[in-house]
């Protein structure tokens, strides 16, 4: 076959069967678009973040100390050969009581080009004068400040000891790489316990003896991408090196502090000794004066002289008593300072990483969720695409049987004959794949990342084309169509020309099973009997249609089901399971006096209905081939109060459990990860790396984070020590407003016993925002599945009509009206659509469960329940597409050329 005639034949075939060609192309386009687009979104999110962090020089690690960071500490880091950059700085948290805001003030180095954690100026500029300030862009978004306005620091605070000026001009609004999340700014021990926004001042404005922190970037991490295993490994190695550097700094710093503190104490001792000497001399003079007075009285000196001597002695006594009191006070003060110096402990150094920044880890978790979804859905898309492509190519080859037979009779080789169909399938696949890649890489990441724009202030880096995803998509697309064409061709190419040139004998009709059920069959009218016979006569087409509709229905149900599962988490966790509203964390260094003051304070707060004191301890659960999980071990001091604060129940049976001495209660997701059940033992690791075996009494419903609950007696039995009660849960009479929460936090934080106050509304709101953004991904799934359902229904119905065009033309000739001809086919479609919907409900439930297994992160469990209304919406969508397809087919059937269709092929 000449190339020219081959190309002409291919183009003729494409134009003659445009619907078939574009339906194949459309299915491939959807599959590739969805796969490449969703698959690229997660990496795009992480690359956008890495680009932003590199550009803004986000620190790898920050070192802080209980006694501040000295120049010696900075020098120690600067001399280390594994550290690339070191920048010390100041930060202060202040409670602005006049505006009920807690603000964290950061220092801006004089050499800003060398600064780590560089700010992104959203509007205005950075401050460069003593009376200027730049604010967190969040302050602008909240509508609290505008450029040029005055920012006044609360004069009631101790700002005079920290800042030179109390009033500043707002010259800019900025974002910081330390805070990629738009709303959260972390916790503090000041005011209400949470930071509202940050502010930036020139470094010269801070009157602090030592730096509050020092940030650094490592050489090893500089070559790695953020969030990658390579980065985590490099950070772990570098952190160990930093810890080695500071392993002796605590003792050295303590010795230095004591050395400096001894100088004023030694001076005070000398002054005290001098005072004691002067006091002894004054006492001696007083005694001599008293002797002189006695001698004078005996000698009969005049009364005027005696009175004068008596006054001097009285004045001397008064001065001596005053001096004695002063010296006693100095002695006590000196003794107290010496005791304080003796009790002084070495400073602790803390090593913070990017993971300690609000939103940093959460952003990675969101990217992982999307990537997980991308591994499941596209597979199903391609499975349906392969099914429909196989059906379509089968029909195409059957239509060309006589042409294939003629070519074989003329001596053309099998390869030459098959080339037309190979090119046809390849063109449809490649065009669909290329368009799918372009749309997928350009649209999906942008839509999904923009949805997360409300949560994060990270900019996008533009379109990225991933060759690995592109090659995978094209390969699977070609397999769906090209492989289908080759499979179908194989039978006809090995048939004789004579058999191919004759029309394929129609399938013989025979009695169906339903006909044997006479009491039902005889009640059918003519049209119903014909419909039943046609359905069972063409079983392959029937099953193809059912499975095609069922697959699309399953995808739509999975999309709606994911929406239900994700949306239910907040309601179930924060309303059904957790009944309390706040968590109070104690200050571990609080005194007995502060404890008594706190107990008095709590009694004055009318909103508090009940309190539950408990021990909260962070531990880890480790097992080979399972990711290490962080778990909070909770031990309530009064287990009888526990049911008022939370519900322990079995998610499937609804059985409610009580905490007892037989073992611990663990959450369902933790038990699932480590494949344990009630009666088994779970091994946990403490901060000292000691291992403890905990017996599981019950596994309970829980959706966020991992928890283990134990009674005090069982805790002591396992841990060999009594629990330290370091926090409490607050059950309020009613859900407080945001303003009332802030007021309560501020009032509680004023007590020396309290280190932090957190309300569940903050956690609930943050989770709700994340879930709302994830809903965008779900709607993308639903829309894509709906589009696929429409194309599949159109393609299968089009094939159905093409195969039966002679039959339909015959009934038109017999006098059937256009609507009756359409209904002749539509009745069958209705039945197949209903069957497909029913099968799709079951398949959708299974697929939904599988997607949840894949998409869930370790610290989160989605609700496995699909709401009934989601099944209804999915069924209505599928039925609507079936109706739209039949409307389109009705127009096609009205234009059928009956004479042409009824011509004999022989």
How would you write 664-691 as a 3-class SS string? EEEEHHHHHHCCCCCCCEEEEECCCCCE
Q: Give the pLDDT confidence of 588-643 residue by residue, as tens digits.
A: 777 888 888 888 888 888 888 999 999 988 888 887 777 778 888 999 999 999 99
Angle between helices 71-78 and 229-245 (to 10 degrees): 130
More confident of the two residues 107 and 17 = 107
**pLDDT of 545-599, one tens digit each?**
888 788 888 888 988 888 888 788 888 888 899 999 888 888 777 788 888 888 8
Q: Which two tokens stand for residue 579?
A: 């009944």
Mean pLDDT of 25-51: 86
The token pair at 480 is 């769906």
Q: What is the pLDDT of residue 237?
A: 92
Give me the pLDDT at residue 459, please: 81
Q: Output the pLDDT for position 813.
A: 76
8 A C-beta contact, residue 641 and residue 654:
no
315-335 pLDDT per residue, tens: 777 777 777 777 777 777 777
Give the model confidence (pLDDT) of 337-394 as tens digits.
777 777 777 888 889 888 888 778 878 877 887 777 777 777 777 777 777 777 777 7
Write the CA distances from 863 to 651, 668, 782, 849, 852, integer angstroms: 10, 12, 19, 10, 9
Whole-number pLDDT of residue 428: 87
- Residue indicated by tokens 């913070």: 352
Report how far apart, in Å, the C-alpha atoms of 251 and of each of 49, 672, 779 are. Answer: 39, 46, 59
Please answer whether residues 124 and 160 qualify as being in contact, where contact means their C-beta atoms are separated by less than 8 angstroms: no
Q: Which helix (H) or strand (E) holds 894?
A: helix 868-894
pLDDT confidence band for 889 (50 / 70 / 90):
confident
Identify the bridge partners of residue 887 per DSSP, sorted by sequence position.
Answer: none
Tens of pLDDT, residues 650-673:
998 999 999 999 999 999 999 998
Please give the Cα distance from 777 to 765 (Å, whole number). 19
Does position 162 have pLDDT exceeding 60, yes or no?
yes
- Percentage of residues in the chain with pLDDT exceeding 70? 90
**Greater pLDDT, 200 or 786:** 200
State the burial class of residue 513 (Cβ atoms within 10 Å of its Cβ: 0-12, 13-18, 19+).
exposed
Q: Decide if pLDDT at 802 tops 60.
A: yes
Tokens 């805790």 map to which residue? 715
pLDDT confidence bin for 158, thresholds 50/70/90: very low
Residues 6+ apart with CB under 8 A from 762: 194
Report which of 384, 392, 432 is spatially closest to residue 556, judged by C-alpha positions. 384
Question: What average pLDDT does this structure show over 150-154?
Answer: 80
pLDDT for the residue numbered 125: 92
pLDDT-based confidence at 2, cuts 50/70/90? low
The yes-or-no verdict on residue 1 having pLDDT over 60 is no
pLDDT greater than 90 at residue 200: yes
Structure-model confidence comparison of residues 356 and 716, the more confident one: 716
What's the CA gap between 419 and 492, in Å, rounded?
14
Instruction: Among 83-92, 118-127, 231-240, 296-305, name the one with the lowest average pLDDT.
Output: 296-305
| 810 exposure class (CB count in 10 Å sphere: 0-12, 13-18, 19+) | middle
Q: What is the spatial distance between Cα 493 and Cα 386, in angstroms, rounded to a whole number?
A: 22
CA angle at 510 for the pair 507 and 515, rounded to the nearest 5°? 140
What is the pLDDT at residue 4? 61
Is 712's pLDDT higher than 90? yes
The three-state (H, E, C) secondary structure of 309-332, written as one string = HHHHHHHHHHHHHHHHHHHHHHHH
Cβ–Cβ under 8 Å, residues 178 and 51: no
Between residues 18 and 597, which one has the greater pLDDT?
A: 597
897 — pLDDT class (breaks 50, 70, 90): low
User: Rounded to whole angstroms, how far apart are CA atoms 221 and 500?
Assistant: 68
Least confident window among 208-222, 468-482, 658-672: 468-482
pLDDT on residue 208: 86
For residue 694, name the pLDDT band (cuts at 50, 70, 90).
very high
Lowest pLDDT segment from 262-266, 408-412, 684-688? 262-266
State the pLDDT confidence band at 489, using cuts at 50, 70 and 90.
confident
Match 């169509």 to its residue by tokens: 481
**Cβ atoms 131, 167 nearer than 8 A:** yes
* Whole-angstrom distance, CA of residue 514 vs CA of residue 523: 12
CB contact at 8 A, 165 and 205? yes
- Mean pLDDT, the chain, integer: 82
More confident residue, 368 or 716: 716
CA–CA separation, 421 and 506 (whole Å): 24
Which helix or strand (DSSP H or E) is residue 103 part of? strand 101-108
pLDDT reading at 171 higher than 60: yes
Higher per-residue pLDDT: 619 or 508: 619
Counting residues of the chain whose pLDDT is more than 90, the rounded percentage is: 19
Q: What is the pLDDT of residues 822-843, one digit of tens each?
A: 777 778 888 888 899 999 999 9
**DSSP-based three-state secondary structure for 352:** strand
Q: What is the pLDDT of residue 799?
A: 75
What pLDDT is recorded for position 414? 82
Q: Would you state the pLDDT for residue 251? A: 85
Quote the pLDDT of residue 629: 81
DSSP 568-599: HHHHIIIIIIB---EEEEE-TT--HHHHHHHH
* Beta-carbon count within 10 A of 276 CB: 15
CB atoms < 10 A from the CB of 274, how many?
10
For residue 191, the model assigns a pLDDT of 65
């Amino acid at each position: 076959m000449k190339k020219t005639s081959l190309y002409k034949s291919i183009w003729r075939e494409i134009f003659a069967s445009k619907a078939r060609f574009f339906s194949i192309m459309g299915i491939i386009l959807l599959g590739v678009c969805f796969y490449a687009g969703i698959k690229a979104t997660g990496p795009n999110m992480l690359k956008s973040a890495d680009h932003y962090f590199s550009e803004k020089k986000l620190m790898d690690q920050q070192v802080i100390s209980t006694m501040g960071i000295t120049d010696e500490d900075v020098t120690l880091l600067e001399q280390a050969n594994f550290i690339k950059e070191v920048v010390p700085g100041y930060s202060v948290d202040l409670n602005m009581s006049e505006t009920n805001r807690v603000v964290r003030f950061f220092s801006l180095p004089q050499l800003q080009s060398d600064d780590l954690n560089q700010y992104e100026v959203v509007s205005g500029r950075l401050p460069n004068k003593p009376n200027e300030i730049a604010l967190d862009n969040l302050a602008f978004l909240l509508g609290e400040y505008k450029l040029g306005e005055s920012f006044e620091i609360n004069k009631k605070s101790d700002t005079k000891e920290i800042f030179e000026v109390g009033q500043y001009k707002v010259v800019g609004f900025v974002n910081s790489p330390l805070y990629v999340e738009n709303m959260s700014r972390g916790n503090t021990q000041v005011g209400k316990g949470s930071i509202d926004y940050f502010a930036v001042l020139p470094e010269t404005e801070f009157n602090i003896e030592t730096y509050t922190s020092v940030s650094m970037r490592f050489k090893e991490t500089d070559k790695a991408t953020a969030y990658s295993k390579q980065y985590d490994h490099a950070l772990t190695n570098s952190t160990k090196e930093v810890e080695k550097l500071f392993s002796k700094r605590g003792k050295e710093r303590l010795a230095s502090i004591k050395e400096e503190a001894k100088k004023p104490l030694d001076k005070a001792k000398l002054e005290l000794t001098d005072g004691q000497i002067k006091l002894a001399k004054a006492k001696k003079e007083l005694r001599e004066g008293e002797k002189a007075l006695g001698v004078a009285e005996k000698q009969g000196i005049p009364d005027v002289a005696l009175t004068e001597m008596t006054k001097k002695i009285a004045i001397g006594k008064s001065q001596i008593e005053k001096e004695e009191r002063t010296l006693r006070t100095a002695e006590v003060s000196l003794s107290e300072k010496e005791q304080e110096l003796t009790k002084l402990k070495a400073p602790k150094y803390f090593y913070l990483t990017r993971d300690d920044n609000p939103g940093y880890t959460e952003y990675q978790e969101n990217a992982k969720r999307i990537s997980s979804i991308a591994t499941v859905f596209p597979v199903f898309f391609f499975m349906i695409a392969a099914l429909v492509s196989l059906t379509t190519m089968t029909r195409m080859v059957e239509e060309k049987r006589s042409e294939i037979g003629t070519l074989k009779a003329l001596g053309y080789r099998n390869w030459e004959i098959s080339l037309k169909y190979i090119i046809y399938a390849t063109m449809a696949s490649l065009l669909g794949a290329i368009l799918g890649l372009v749309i997928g890489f350009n649209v999906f990441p942008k839509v999904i990342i923009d949805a997360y724009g409300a949560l994060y202030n990270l900019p996008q880096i533009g379109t990225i084309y991933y060759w690995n995803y592109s090659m995978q998509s094209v390969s699977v697309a070609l397999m769906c169509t090209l492989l289908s064409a080759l499979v179908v061709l194989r039978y006809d190419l090995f048939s004789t020309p004579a058999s191919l040139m004759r029309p394929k004998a129609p399938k013989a009709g025979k009695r169906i099973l339903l006909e044997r059920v006479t009491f039902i069959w005889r009640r059918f009218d003519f049209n119903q009997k014909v419909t039943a016979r046609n359905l069972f006569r063409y079983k392959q087409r029937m099953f193809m249609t059912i499975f095609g509709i069922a697959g699309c229905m399953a995808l739509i149900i999975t999309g709606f089901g994911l929406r239900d599962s994700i949306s239910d988490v907040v309601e179930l966790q924060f309303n059904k399971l957790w009944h309390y509203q706040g968590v109070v964390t104690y200050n571990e260094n609080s005194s007995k006096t502060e404890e008594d003051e706190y107990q008095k304070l709590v009694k004055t707060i009318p909103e508090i209905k009940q309190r539950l004191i408990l021990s909260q301890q962070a531990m880890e659960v480790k097992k080979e081939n399972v990711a290490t999980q962080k778990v909070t071990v909770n031990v309530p001091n009064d287990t009888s109060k526990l049911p008022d604060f939370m519900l322990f129940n079995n998610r499937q049976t609804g059985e409610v459990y009580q905490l007892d001495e037989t073992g611990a209660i663990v959450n369902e997701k933790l038990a699932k990860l480590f494949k344990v059940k009630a009666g088994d033992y779970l091994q946990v690791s403490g901060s000292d790396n000691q291992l403890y075996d905990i017996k599981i009494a019950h596994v309970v419903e829980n959706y966020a984070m991992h928890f283990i609950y134990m009674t005090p007696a069982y805790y002591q039995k396992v841990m060999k020590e009594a629990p330290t009660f370091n926090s409490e849960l607050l059950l309020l009479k009613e859900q407080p407003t945001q303003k009332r929460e802030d007021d309560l936090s501020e009032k509680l934080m004023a007590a020396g016993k309290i280190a932090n106050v957190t309300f569940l509304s903050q956690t609930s709101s943050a989770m709700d925002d994340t879930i709302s953004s994830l809903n965008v991904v779900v709607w993308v799934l639903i829309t894509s599945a709906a589009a696929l359902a429409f194309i599949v229904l159109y393609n299968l119905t089009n094939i159905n009509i093409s195969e039966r065009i002679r039959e339909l033309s015959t009934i038109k000739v017999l006098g059937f009206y256009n609507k009756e001809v359409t209904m002749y086919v539509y009745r069958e479609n209705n039945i197949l659509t209903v069957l497909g919907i029913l099968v799709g409900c079951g398949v959708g439930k299974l697929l939904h469960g599988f997607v949840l297994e894949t998409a869930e992160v370790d610290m989160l469990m989605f609700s496995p329940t699909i709401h009934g209304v989601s099944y209804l919406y999915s069924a209505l969508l599928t039925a609507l597409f079936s109706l739209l397809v039949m409307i389109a087919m009705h127009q096609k059937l009205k234009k059928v050329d009956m004479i042409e269709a009824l011509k004999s092929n022989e």
